[in-house]
Amino acid sequence: MKVGKIVSLAAALGLMTVALQAEEIKLSKEEMAKAKQIYFDRCAGCHGMLRKGALGPWIRPEPHKDKKGAMHGTKNLGTEALKALIYNGTPGGMPGWGKSGELTKEEVDLMAKYVQLPPPQPPEKSMADLKKSWKVLVPVDQRPTKPETDRNWKNYFGVVLRDVGKIAIVDGDKKEVVSVVPSGFATHILRSSKDGRYMYVIGRDGKASLIDLWMKEPKNVAEIRVCNDARSIDTSKYEGYEGKYAVVGCYWPPSIVTLDGQTLEPLKQVATASYTYDDGVFTREARVAAIIANHHKPEWVINIKETGQVWLYNYTDVKNPTIKMVEAERFLHDGGWDSTKRYFLTAANARDTISVIDTVEGKLVANIPSQGTKPHPGRGANVDSKKYGPVWLTGHIGSNDIVAIGTDPKGHPDNAWKVVKKIKLPGEGGGNLFIKTHPNCKYIFADRPVNPDRKLQTQIYVIDKDKLEVVKTIPIPEEYLKSDDPKVKARGPVHFEFNADGSEVWTSIWGNKKTASAILVFDANTLKLKKVIQDKRLITPTGKFNVTNTMGDIY
């Protein structure tokens, strides 16, 4: 076996102990600029802007020992081993950027060298910077006073066109693209106002946009760039504050930015740099991951990833907010409500833990071992199980486990806040990013787009709600995985969303930006393919957000 393969395997297992002869790395100004952009686009989310790791490991040049005793340091690995990792990915969930065609061999070589150099200091942003980027494209008094369309806009889907920085608005009744709206790069999520009229968009590049769905052709009515890297956005949903404010959570600069809900005018910045809850170590890169709007109080529930705290952020006095810091676990990522919308269940994925926050009493209920590697729920899936009572489910990036956690401490106390059922996906390894269900559907759907096995990567996994077992796999026909470049194939189905009444489930084919790819619409109960939505504008469709389900937090 070649040295590169040996080291690649060691790295994949987190055993970075093989030391290679250090080489002198030099990059030109142009190469550095390109590498910084690629790193931001593909790597920063998991490894951090400062490369100290979270979901992904430490990838700075100097050695570092993690809590499991594994050593991490890019200089110890060397260029050839790093190239193998970046090109092929790992069983733990890192995509094979070269294998998928998203990076060329030259770009893989560039990144293998770049991560052996010290990370450059990313720029900060002031309130003055924010205001310079703020634009009201359509003033409030010039917007429609009622819907201008005869379409069923509450069954619209906002579809992320990830790599081209756009959002497609798709009519869920007619299965056709209504409009394509510019957004930030690699939009992470969309959120709806409580009445569903506005769709709030946040790009990985920190650009927030506001789309008015009442217009005959939906378009942006306001936009602002609040930070250099972001993942989360939501609105105020508590009674009396519906749509008054919006909030963005930033990865860099690590901060919370409150905006006017109708115009996106910046109102308040709050830095999140703080001390880790367990070790008391100051952390500049304390990034904001998930944000969810509390239905019981005028609060946002905000994950501070690196410090392991969940902040309960009261927005009644927007200039002088109050924040309750709840100690949970590191490193907090994504999560969602239980069926009552009282308990927030969120993944501390690097610690293989699900933290549960009671948003009525404002406290940690439990830290639950997820019994899998790197839980990644998205918002999760809620099921009222005949055997276990209400449960919430999450999958894992690093293992083939879907787990169900009891969420009913009063009605089913023996099952509350523990894993009551583990569901094994077929085959080896993880790769699951999202699971989804709907109250009117008898199934849960799971994807696996970052599993390195081609067969496992291109299937849909169907879980029966009553049995809590995989009862069917749906392979994606090869015709929908093709690309204009014969050397590159689409990664497979990613993310699920239901239409408003739960009779259909939609998934998209995660392709590359050279070729349009399809959205597949299945009957949610017969599992028959009903419709294939194909449009030349659908480039890298990934996340899909139905207006009715998003405004009601239905999952």
Active site residues: 43, 46-47, 94, 333, 376
Backbone angles phi, psi at 84, to 5 degrees: -65, -40
Selection from 164, 169, 172, 229 nearest residue 198 by Cα? 169
Cα gap 151→154, rounded to integer Å: 9
Burial label, 296 (beta-carbon count in 10 A; 0-12, 13-18, 19+): middle
Residue with tokens 């930070």: 227
Structure tokens at 325: 């810091």
Give the H/E segment covering residue 32. Answer: helix 29-38
Annotate 491-523 with b (16+ C-beta within 10 A) or e (fewer).
Answer: bbbbbbbbbbebebbbbbbbbbeebbbbbbbbe
Listed in order, strand segments (DSSP E) in 35-132 are 64-65, 71-72
Torsion (CA) 372, 481, 549, 382 in degrees, nearest 10: -20
341: helix, coil or strand? coil
453: helix, coil or strand? coil
Structure tokens at 386: 């005949």
Q: Are 444 and 437 in contact (CB under 8 A)?
A: yes
CA angle 468, 470, 471 (to 5 degrees): 105
Question: Counting every residue, how long is the chain?
Answer: 555
Give the H/E segment covering residue 46. Answer: helix 44-47
Give the gyration radius of the chain's Cα atoms: 22
CA angle 383, 386, 388 (to 5 degrees): 75
Task: Name residues whose C-beta falls within 8 Å of residue 69's C-beta, 6 or more positions apart in sequence.
Answer: none
Q: How many helices (H) and strands (E) does the chain have?
A: 9, 37
Give the H/E segment covering residue 74. Answer: helix 74-77
